[in-house]
Amino acid sequence: MNNFKYSIPTTIYFGKDQLGHLAELKASGERVLLVYGGGSIKRSGLYDSVMKILAEAGLKVTELSGVEPNPRIESVRRGVDLCRENQIDMVLAVGGGSVIDCAKVVAAGACYDGDAWDLVLDGGKIKAALPVYSVLTLSATGSEMDNFAVISDMSKNEKWGTGSPLLKPVMSVLDPTYTFSVSKKQTAAGTADMMSHTFENYFTNVKGAELQGHLCEAVLKTCIQYGPIAIKEPDNYDARANLMWAGSLAINGLLNGGAEVAWCVHPMEHELSAFYDITHGEGLAILTPVWMSFVLKKDPSKTGQLAAYGRSVWGLSGEDQEVAQAAIDKTAQFFFETMGMPKNLREVGITEKTHFEEMAAKAEAGCHGSFVPLTKEDIVSIYEAAF
């Protein structure tokens, strides 16, 4: 196991009726930038509840609304301007990962003397940020408890993740009932996203990080158990609660501290989103089984680790080679049959291969130091197989 630092300053209020804790925002000042998306929080009534609590706490609210899924740098810039014009003290995101990510970069951009895109390209430039708070409405990205944010500039087909400890939320409210209204499509995509975060951490080359591996297996089993229940019964509290907590733990450092490995399915997916604006979790579900098969073929020394996954998570038994292959099949079956997700790139509207070379060239950098390092040619062939 490697040495590591583990620090999560985010206070989590988990469960029903936790929203009143937003009164604690007063600790950061009195002017709040409220960031939200395309209107789901207005339809659910959450917007009204948040506004009431903030008003009762004597907080002054400025709004940044309309943050897009795959949030755009233009929204971040609007938010930064609002912070400056209104001397904002803190940023409150109410929504899914896109809203929280946008809020994080707004918070950093407000303290930066330049264009916020610089901070997306280089998290090292983030030297200060306004305090970030969140109310999570979609279980997926873990942004409510991590130090990352992913922002797109669609004019350049670029989507990049940035990170800084300064982006970790001060506090996040995790009430599973707020996710009852999440659609089947987004529930499936969110489950695939948290599973992918877990896979990225699980398939590591660090030896001896047994506990982290077993924690990954627990998160995966939880997603496999509760994802389908949440799809069939959207207001099943335990299903939503288990998914919500799994999403946070999958990426808050718990699973990868001491077992570090470069992620490679994510860089490949981010290029799909950057060029075709697809739903992140759907891209991951399509790429994951293809990537696993590629790993098995390119580096047979990894067969044992894929087989261990099959035995622990899927309860399979038999010889390594056979179990590893069956585990990949089970993964594909789970995403495409049980969860009803699109199974290839054509099904998410990517009907031509024009950009595969360019996308692969950009994704390659992210795959250095991954479980099995991938060349540009490898990535093109993964896109081809996913097509």
Positions touching ligand NZQ (CB under 6 A) are 37-41, 69-70, 95-99, 101, 137-138, 140-143, 146, 148-150, 178-179, 181-182, 186, 190, 193, 251, 266, 280-281
Comparison of 110 and 359: residue with beta carbon closer to Zn ion: 359
Q: Least CB distance from residue 279 to ligand NZQ, whole Å? A: 7
37 binds, among Zn ion, ligand NZQ, none (CB under 5 to 8 A by kind): ligand NZQ
Return the number of other C-beta atoms located less than 10 Å from residue 132's C-beta: 30
Comparison of 40 and 204: residue with beta carbon closer to ligand NZQ: 40
82 binds, among ligand NZQ, Zn ion, none (CB under 5 to 8 A by kind): none
Comparison of 139 and 331: residue with beta carbon closer to ligand NZQ: 139
Comparison of 196 and 222: residue with beta carbon closer to ligand NZQ: 196
Comparison of 96 and 342: residue with beta carbon closer to ligand NZQ: 96
User: For the window 190-229, what string marks contact with Zn ion as x by the rule CB under 5 A?
Assistant: ---x------------------------------------
The residue number with the shortest CB distance to ligand NZQ is 37
Closest CA to 151 of 163, 139, 136: 163
97 binds, among Zn ion, ligand NZQ, none (CB under 5 to 8 A by kind): ligand NZQ
Comparison of 89 and 101: residue with beta carbon closer to ligand NZQ: 101
Q: Least CB distance from residue 88 to Zn ion, whole Å? A: 28
* Residues making contact with Zn ion (CB under 5 A): 193
